[in-house]
Structure 1
Amino acid sequence: MARTGVSRWRDPRLAFAIKWIASLIQIAGYALTAFDMTPWNLYLFLAGVLGWFAVGVLWNDRAIMLIHLVALGAMIAGLISG
């Protein structure tokens, strides 16, 4: 239930949850990379990058959005070419 005057999408608890879940997913992606588990590592990285992009949108933080859009583009290019 949203607090008075705070939209559900602007609730800081939502961004908090997304950033920690996305971070844990990306850490799992690093672990899979260490064990050469491609493409599963990339799928986790994609989920983590999308999560952090969502946090950038929620925070209206263009720097976070930019870096994760670039990472997303690089990963998609790698998946297509590989």
Structure 2
Amino acid sequence: MPSEVLAPGRGKDQLAFWVKWGASVIQIIGYTATGFGWTPWNLYLFLVGVLGWFVVGVLWNDRAIILIHLVALAAMIAGMSSG
């Protein structure tokens, strides 16, 4: 088991640890909300999750994570504003 699961580092590493797990849990709840047809709550949950993972990408300076979540965010906002 990776040590980060048990004991995150300090500062930026600790922030990234909590944001990534929080965003992941929120996205799982968003999937559940979608499965049960709980709109628009599912979209709001996904927005929070996507923003959380975008923050993790910035904290890690990971351009792939940043890119995929910027695209997802843009698509979600475009879809929500057109409906």
Counterpart of 2:19, as a letter, is I
Within 5 A, what are the aligned runs for 1:1-82?
A: 8=11, 11-82=12-83
Q: TM-score, normalised by structure 1?
A: 0.86
Structure 1 residue 81: Cα displacement = 1.1
Where 1:37 maps in the other structure, the secondary structure is coil
Q: Distance in 2 between matches of 1:37 and 1:81?
A: 19
1:22-56 Cα deviation digits (max 9, x unpaired): 00000000000001111110000000000000000
Counterpart of 1:34, as a letter, is G
Runs (4+) off by over 3 Å:
none
Q: Unmatched 5+ residue regions in structure 1? A: 1-6
- What's the C-alpha RMSD, in Å, of the aligned pairs? 1.2
1:55-79 Cα deviation digits (max 9, x unpaired): 0000000000000000001100111
Q: Unmatched 5+ residue regions in structure 2? A: 1-9
Counterpart of 1:32, as a letter, is A
